[in-house]
Structure 1
Amino acid sequence: MFSIFDITLLLNGFPIRKAKSDLDKIVALSAEEKKQFIENQKQTIVEYHLQNNAFYQNLVGSKNDIKWEDLPILNKSNLQSPLQNRLSKGYNSKNIYLNKTSGSSGEPFIFAKDKYTHALTWASNMYRFGWFGIDFNRSLQARFYGIPLDFIGYHKERFKDFLSKRYRFPVFDLSDQALEKVLKKFTHTKFDYLNGYTSSIVLFAKFLRKRNLILRDICPRLKVCMVTSEMLFEDDKILLETQFGIPIINEYGASELDLIAFESPQKEWRINSETLFVEILDKNNNPVPNGTEGKIVITSLFNKAHPFIRYDIGDIGILDEKSTLEKPILKKLIGRTNDVAILPSGKKSPGLTFYYVTKSIIEDDGNVKEFVIKQTKIDTFEIEYVSETELDLAQIQKIKDAISLYLEPNLDFKFIRKNNLERTARGKLKQFTSLL
């Protein structure tokens, strides 16, 4: 018998019952069976896209009997073209899951999953959250995320939260006054767990520390906190554990893929090897030994609507020395940090707030290739961007309107078009940087 969360997925065409059943079978495989499953699925997904996806055919070229290690590395710039040019045969806007990446790397694009693959993503989430006694159909989530602020988008998201047993705390304003309201909600709501952006949850913990409060004393039903989307540093983890009084679980994922790694009850950052294949490669695209840092390259083993094969996600990581093909363990993730913007009103907003601002300039024509945002003064920001054509006055006004809505009015934004953007020594863009 299905509960409301599962029913909602089914009504939207996502076969969650089959996805859960199939995932259970994969999880139950022996070590040798798991190795064979991964190799078979790698071959199957490559063959499928070579036969059914013109975009991937062009990327690979006319080579025959190509080996895995010779397949091209797919990067985000490859994907900044109209989505219809990247879909496989038989897929269109009516039979896919469609979304936009957050652009946290500074390279946004629109992506698709077939509906079975998206159901598998949810099954994967449910399986891993279940390690800590969390049931998506029954456990109430305190959600620290962004939310659209236009009337229709806002209420649509609130309704989805209701169906998903979530209460959302929008992260655009994390001032003390706003956090007082968050705290009050915890005093009379039986939340089971927290989930959301690392920086936002850390700011809430600092707020609690100033008041010498432990969250579980206020909300005794709390079991666990999962943080995502940004790096969790060890001192911040200690702060969260101290102020919340519950285990803090580190999550690493990507909307275009799935949960990539999830901290287990054994304190291992277990890589998802059920729906993904993760490689760590050097600058020449050769595998590095376990314990050595390299770029994280990921293959979605099931997505037939859109190829994510040997996809360079833009992060640097290290596999644990004891990591194996069937049980990969992420030792360390390098990067994915976001600063907090402090605004003239005293309002604090995490860097990921700019996802909701930059959504207004992400068009499906691939014009804006990359962007970074820098805070140079308390009221002054620069948007540096690379594009095929310069942003026109209407587009700039649209961005300014979004900034006023999501941040606050009367901020000064300068738009600077460039041929290329400055990267870190590791070749990664940081979307938001505060120079204050």
Structure 2
Amino acid sequence: MKNRDWYTSLVSGLLFPLQERLKDHSTVSVRKALELSQWWNRERLENLQLLKLRHLLAEAEAHVPYYRRIFAEIGFKAAEVSSLADLARLPLLDKPAIRADTEALKSQKARSLRSFNTGGSSGEPLTFYIGRERVSHDVAAKWRATRWWDVDIGDPEMVVWGSPIELGAQDRLRMLRDRLLRTRLFPAFEMSEQKLDRFLGELRAAPPRMFFGYPSALSHIARHAQARGQRMDDLGINVAFVTSERLYDEQRQQISKTFGCPVANGYGGRDAGFIAHECPEGGMHITAEDIIVEIVDRQGVPLPCGEAGEIIVTHLSTAEFPFIRYRTGDIGILDDRICRCGRGLPLLREIQGRSTDFVVAQDGTVMHGLALIYILRELPQISHFKIIQESLNLIHIWVVSGAKLDREITAKIEEEFKARLGQSVEVLIEETTEIPAEKSGKFRYVISKIAGA
């Protein structure tokens, strides 16, 4: 690690490891192991995955009522698993199944489970449980990826986040911990112009070495700085970590240009775990030591590298509450190349977004929401927008513009949308002064309410 000051060394080498030990987490030893295994070749990594998969399935068969029943119903025996391909014999696990059988998914050996929940794209809460082993592995994987960018725990960090789970837990102990770790929090759903001006002042007064937040929030801050004519590329920020939403090229460019730093994309979630992270060479590396990623078609059949389908995750460190062939609802593509960085960790070529980021034309054609996003982004009169596909026959567009849109502009929007979705689609355009983010603080440009979109 370069450019580490004495305080960062104190935090990463002593204070944070002490915290993890007090929590009975194995984070430090796991991270050290991950920093060795990341350089292994694919065959060695796959052998490790198979070893851990056999253990996970044996634990599930013996101690998890849900999987004991599933295995018996399909005649599956963990002891007979001889390759990673055998995983495809098991059914997919989805959110409705977890909601219906939450208690049956708990291992009878579990002793340290904590309840977590996530709203998901539909806003319907999903409650699940996580044990100490999984927490240790997820934190270690994130820590490893952070260090790829020459920053470490203890370096000054600005977190732009919006989850009520984090923001609601800012008690005195957590505030003290954040102060010791040099982490500051800026709420992503409270970004009025006045608060953004104050935030830019705080950045200038005490620049962080790294950002962490939603791409929509960081790009919004960057655009505000640009509009105010405030230079932010001389603060010495090393990297902007973004996660939890699709990262669009325009957002990457805006953040990087404004803050004078690279943008590192991360992919994962509370439910699925720390799935993948971008390295400085641009490779989106899967955390293969803990995560098996499959890409499947609409029938759940695995697809080869290069083909787009739903991202299915098996988390190998979840024996206490197994996530086996879990449906993320995201669409992606695997890559079979080796990254220029030399790491053997497999790659995600693309993460195209959630299945609800796709829209359906009247003739049944499924297309990514980008097909509609680009129509609005081409119009300089529009500063913000949100597209909601209510049905096959109705598309609702919220727009924010500097001046009222004239008939020529709205007619152009309607024409372009109908050309993609169908001539009889009703295009409802509503102008507003502000488009609020989701309750979590995330922002989604496109939402389709059509099942299976």
Which TM bucket (shorter chain)? 0.7 to 0.9
Partner of 1:116: 133
Instruction: After TM superposition, list the pairs within 5 Å mapping 1:369-388 onto structure 2.
Output: none
Partner of 2:258: 243
| 1:304 to 2:326 alignment | no
Q: State the secondary structure of the residue aligned to 1:112.
A: strand
The equivalent of 1:180 in structure 2 is 197
The question of whether the paired residues in 2 share the 8 Å contact of 1:80 and 1:108 is answered with: no
Alignment of 1:13 with 2:32, yes or no, is no
Superposition deviation, residue 150 in structure 1: 11
In the alignment, the residues of structure 2 paired with residue 104 and residue 44 of structure 1 have an alpha-carbon distance, to the nearest angstrom, of 32
Match of 2:405 in 1: none
2:450 to 416, 423, 429: 423
Deviations 1:175-211, CA, capped at 9 Å, x for gaps? 2111011101101113111001111111101101112
1:37/1:208 CA distance change after superposition, 3 Å:
same
Match among 252, 260, 270 for residue 267 of structure 2: 252
1:155 equivalent to 2:166? Answer no
C-alpha contact 2:232 2:259 (8 A) present in aligned 1: yes
1:351-366 matched pairs, under 5 angstroms = 351-353=438-440
Kindly tell me: are residues 81 and 284 of structure 1, through their superposed partners in 2, closer, same or farther at Cα, counting changes over 3 Å?
closer
Aligned counterpart, 1:26: 37
Which runs of 5 or more structure 2 residues have no equivalent in the other structure?
A: 1-9, 81-85, 358-368, 370-384, 387-397, 401-430
| 2:155 paired residue number | 139
Residue number among 211, 225, 229 corresponding to 2:240 in the alignment = 225
Change (3 A) 1:174 1:103: same
Aligned-partner residue type, residue 329 of structure 1: L
**Percentage of matched positions with identical amino acids:** 23
Moved more, 335-344 or 314-323: 335-344
Q: Which moved more, 1:149-158 or 1:23-32?
A: 149-158
Contact kept, 8 Å, 1:113 with 1:304, in 2: the verdict is: no
Task: Indicate conservation of the 8 Å contact 1:268/1:329, yes or no.
Answer: yes
Q: Tell me, what secondary structure is at the counterpart of 1:90?
A: coil
Q: Secondary structure at the match of 1:309?
A: strand
How far residue 163 of structure 1 moved from its aligned partner, in angstroms, is: 4.3
Cα drift, residue 107 of structure 1: 4.5
Secondary structure of 2:324's partner?
A: coil
Q: What is the aligned partner in structure 2 of residue 274 from structure 1?
A: 289
| Count of equivalent residues | 359
Whether the 8 Å CA contact 1:290–1:323 is kept in 2: the answer is: no
State how far apart, in whole Å, the 1-side matches of 2:290 and 2:110 are.
Answer: 20
TM-score normalised by structure 1 residue count = 0.74
Deviation at 1:22, TM superposition (A): 3.4
The correspondence for 1:73, drawn from 75, 92, 95, is 92
| C-alpha contact 1:142 1:193 (8 A) present in aligned 2 | yes
Partners of 1:158 and 1:81 lie apart in 2 by 37
Alpha-carbon distance in structure 2 between the residues aligned to 1:151 and 1:309: 30
Residue 354 of structure 1: CA displacement? Answer: 6.5
Provide the secondary structure at the position in 1 that maps to 2:309: strand
Deviation at 1:249, TM superposition (A): 1.0
Offset, 1:304: 1.2
Task: Say whether 1:330 aligns with 2:341.
Answer: no
Report the CA distance shift for 1:112/1:61 in structure 2 as closer, same or farther (over 3 A): same
Provide the C-alpha distance between the structure 2 equivalents of 1:342 and 1:90, rounded to a whole number of angstroms: 53
Aligned residue identity for 1:423? I
- CA separation in 2, counterparts of 1:24 and 1:321? 21
Pairing of 1:53-132 with structure 2 (within 5 A)? 53-62=64-73, 63-65=75-77, 67-81=86-100, 83-92=102-111, 95-104=112-121, 106-132=123-149
Secondary structure at the residue paired with 1:335?
A: strand
Aligned-residue offset at 1:84: 3.3
**AA paired with 1:330?**
L
Match 1:46 to one of 35, 50, 57: 57
- TM-superposed CA distance for 1:38, in Å, is 1.4
User: Alpha carbons of 1:64 and 1:225: their partners in 2 closer, same or farther (altered >3 Å)?
Assistant: closer
Counterpart-to-counterpart distance in 1, 2:439 and 2:151: 26
Q: 1:276 to 1:226 in 2, by over 3 A?
A: same
Map Cα deviations across residues 199-236 of structure 1 (whole Å, 9 max, x no partner): 1111101101112333232x23x100011111111112
Q: Is the 8 A contact 1:76 1:107 kept in 2?
A: no
- 1:220-262 CA deviation, whole Å, 9 max, x = no partner? 3x10001111111111211111111110111111112332121
Q: Which residue of 1 aligns with 2:221?
A: 204
- Comparing 43-52 and 79-88, the one that deviates more: 79-88
Amino acid at match of 1:331: R
**Secondary structure of 1:195 counterpart:** strand
Q: Give the structure-2-normalised TM-score.
A: 0.71
Give the letter for the 1:236 counterpart: Q
Deviations 1:325-375 (A, max 9, x none): 9532111112246977999996664225368xxxxxxxxxxxxxxxx9x99
Structure 1 runs not aligned, ≥5 long: 356-371, 376-420, 429-436
- 1:49 Cα deviation from its structure 2 partner: 0.6
Alignment partners' CA distance in 1, 2:167 and 2:131: 29
